[in-house]
Each structure stands twice: as structure tokens, then as C-alpha cells.
Structure 1
Amino acid sequence: MYKDSEGNKRSEEGKKEPHQHQSSNRTDRPEDQWKFRAPYKIHDDKGGENFEAKWKGKCHCGAVQYELSREKPLASKYCHCTTCQRMHGAPFQWAAIFHKTDINFVRGHHDLGWYDPTAKSTTHHLPCKVQCAYCRTPIMDEGRNMILLFPTLIEGINTPEGRKAFEVQSHMFYQQRVVDVKDGKPKYKGLAGESNLVDEETGEEIEGSNPKERKEGEEK
């Protein structure tokens, strides 16, 4: 263990993660190298890249704007954990999962702020929350391998095409909910597909319903 610049305890593995500074428009320092890596790397024709935008999104003030090259997310879920409730000021978070290379910031990728909810610090330790540094609109959650975008920022989300593309498949951390959502979608106690299901009517955990454990048991 070691302490970072803000006095937060970190594992040695944390030293290998990207920079630990807030965003700026500089690109000459070692800690600025994140700007040349996904998901913040700019895709352009000069680099011989063929980034075809399928969707566009932006924050409330428009300082941060991005494109998506994938027609639909890898998965779309509602998260009812208490962290998401507090961070979004809402009953739950609507998250769409994408590869980091699926996004292209066309404006404002220097105007971002980060928040590490584990250490409660404004450093870029993964996983972390990403927001517009001006209007504070939540942009995405950045994980080590994937990003979780928020579909309400997508242009055209409230159209038949948008609703179909970003349709939710399941609920996570449903036992932490503050509102009941009886939509017939699978509801998990923890992570989707890796924890027991929760009965939609009673709210009780269904023992032995963990898909991952059941699959592992069948393979033995």
C-alpha cells in the first residue's frame, strides 16, 4: 500500500493506472498521455482511421460532445446501487456498455472532470466517474476495459430507433432500489448475470438462481 498525493491509501497496482490529475488542455507532460489512449483518443482521417458515427451525444451545456461508432451497446442495464442513486440524484442509473474504442470525443475531451467513488477523490483512478467540468453533467463511468455511457445524453434516444437500440436487458443491485420497477426484466441482487435473481413481486432473493454459478456447475 502507498498514499497518493491526496493522502488516499492505494494498492501498488494503482501506480500502474493512468494519470492521477484533472483534465487540462496541455499535451506535453507525461501525465497527459491519457489523451492519446482510448476512450479519449481522437479518431480522425489523418491517422487512417475509419470512424463512422452512428450516434451523437453531448452534455447539458454542449462543451463535451462525442460520437459512437456502434449501432447498439454491448448491453444496457438499470443500476439501483446506492452509489449510482447518490451520484445521479435519481432512483437508478441507466447505463449502456461500450468498448472504449467505440467513442470519439469531437469536442471537450480536455474539459472533463473525474471522481473516484472508492477513494472519494478527484483523481483518474479506474474505475471512475467522468463528467463535464463546466456543467457537471455525468458523461460516463470509465472502467478498466469498458465504458458505461448514459443514453439520455444521446441525440435521438427518444425515438423508436433510439429506444430499440438502447433497450434495457436487466436490473442490477435491485434489492437496493428506492422504487419498484415491474417491467418483466430480469432483476439481480448484484451484478447482472453474476448474482442471484430477485423476485419482481416480493423483492426476495431467489436462492440458486445465479446464472454464472449454475453454468459452472453444469460444466463440472
Structure 2
Amino acid sequence: MVVTRSETQTGAQTGAVQNSSEGWKQQPPYRTTEGDEGFEKKWTAHCHCGRVRYWLSRDGPLASKFCHCVDCQALHGAPFQWAAIFHKEDLRFESGAEGLAFYHAPDKSTTHRLPCKVSCAYCHAPIMDEGRNMVLMFPGIIKFSDAEHKKLFDPQCHIFYSQRVVDIHDGKPKWSKLDGKSELMKEVEREGSNTILGEPKNENMQD
């Protein structure tokens, strides 16, 4: 049985319906920078078509990880997801919630219900995953000024590596599920490795 991230694991409030009123649009992360003099713009990013733009006020994320869970594979159309964790207060959108689309994976609804996937409603580029207190940003769309600044977002580890579809040889810790709460897995040797797409791996450091 393949185990994926649950609402509890992502730190989101189970069954928290947020679309019953419009109040959430005035709260972080959807509050805009207009009239907010205390918000310092450190980084900017925009979706593929440029309709959605946001700023970050923190120099670097609280943590950064590569996630290999099957949900990320399906929803991003990629072998794994690069996610950087920020407080909601660290983020401001240029136009608030305007132009954003929401997807609540547990019940497959297109409503703003936590946890939810947030994307551009026009080009559908992924913007972030929103939980109850945190957001997972996707650094691939951040406009870094140079390579040194980009290093601030370097992932510390891999999570849900047991569900990977490709072996990664980078020396970073590889957790079978959540970091610090599951088994550390061995890094498969380059020579003779035989990864089969979609086949979970079960190596662990205790073997």
C-alpha cells in the first residue's frame, strides 16, 4: 500500500473549509503589499504567463526539501517537487487572491479548503501548497539575482524517497516518508542501479 501525505502530516487543519466567507482573502498570504510599509520585498516570483506575481520578505526559507510523494508526481507532472517552507506572513501577492485557482486534493474539489494546491488560473503554473500556518513555495519560479542567492534555497533533504521514480545521487539525507519521522534510506550506487519507474524502494540505513 502506498502511503501519501495526509492533512495531518502537512500541518493543515483537517476539513477546514475556508471558502464559506471572503475573510481569508484579507489574511496572509493573500493580503497585498499595498499600504503595508512594514513588508520588505526580498524576492519576487511570477507564474509562467506573468499574471500572478508575489514577493517574499524573508532572506531564505525555514527549510527546503525535495518531495518524491506520488501526489507531487501526479500534480506537478515531474519526478519530484522542490518546495521551500515559509510562514504565511512572509508572502504578499501583487493582486491578492485574484487570478488564483485552488485544489483540495483530499476530496478533489476546486475550493479554497486547507490544505490546498494554489496555481495560476490562466496558465496553471503551480504557485504554492497552502497549509494552516505555513506555505510551501516552489523556488523554480523565483527570480534569483545570482547563484549565491539561489543557494539559500538549496534543499536539505529528500522526503518520501521510498516513492521515488528516479535515483538521486547528491549525498543529501533521504527519508522514506517525512524527515525525522521515518527511516533514512541508503543512496543507490550509480553503477548498476536499476530504477523501475513507479516501483517503491525500501532500502533503509539499518540494513
TM-score tier, shorter chain, comes to: 0.7 to 0.9
The structure with the larger Rg is 1
Q: CA deviation at 1:107?
A: 3.1
Q: CA deviation at 1:108?
A: 5.7
1:96-126 C-alpha deviation (Å, 9 max, x unpaired): 0000000011136311110011111111111
1 or 2, which has the higher helix percentage?
A: 1
Structure 1 residues 184, 190: CA separation in 2 closer, same or farther (over 3 Å shift)? Answer: same
**CA distance in 2: counterparts of 1:162 and 1:118, whole angstroms:** 35
Provide structure 1 residue ranges, at least 5 long, that are not aligned to the other structure: 1-12, 21-30, 209-220
Tell whether the 8 Å contact from 1:54 to 1:70 is kept in structure 2 after alignment: yes
Match of 1:192 among 154, 179, 185: 179
Match of 2:29 among 39, 48, 52: 39
Tell whether the 8 Å contact from 2:58 to 2:90 is kept in structure 1 after alignment: yes
- Give me the identity figure in percent: 53
Report the equivalent of 1:205: 204
Tell whether the 8 Å contact from 2:55 to 2:92 is kept in structure 1 after alignment: yes
Equivalenced residue count is 182
Q: CA deviation at 1:43?
A: 3.0
**CA distance in 2: counterparts of 1:173 and 1:205, whole angstroms:** 12
SS state at 1:107 partner: coil
**CA distance in 1: counterparts of 2:50 and 2:33, whole angstroms:** 19
**CA distance in 1: counterparts of 2:120 and 2:47, whole angstroms:** 7
Report the equivalent of 2:197: none
- Give the number of the structure with larger relative contact order, counting CA–CA contacts within 8 Å between residues 6 or more apart: 2
**CA distance in 2: counterparts of 1:198 and 1:123, whole angstroms:** 36
TM-score (norm 2): 0.82
User: Structure 1 residue runs of 4+, over 6 Å off?
Assistant: none
Q: CA deviation at 1:205?
A: 2.1
Q: CA deviation at 1:138?
A: 0.4
Report the equivalent of 1:86: 74
Query: Counterpart amino acid of 1:63?
Result: R
Report the equivalent of 1:120: 108
SS state at 2:38 partner: coil
Match of 2:63 among 75, 78, 86: 75
Q: Relative to structure 2, which stretch is displaced further, 104-113 or 175-184?
A: 104-113
**CA distance in 2: counterparts of 1:94 and 1:172, whole angstroms:** 10
Q: CA deviation at 1:207?
A: 4.3
1:115-157 C-alpha deviation (Å, 9 max, x unpaired): 0111111111111100000110000000111000000110127
Report the equivalent of 1:216: none
Report the equivalent of 1:172: 159
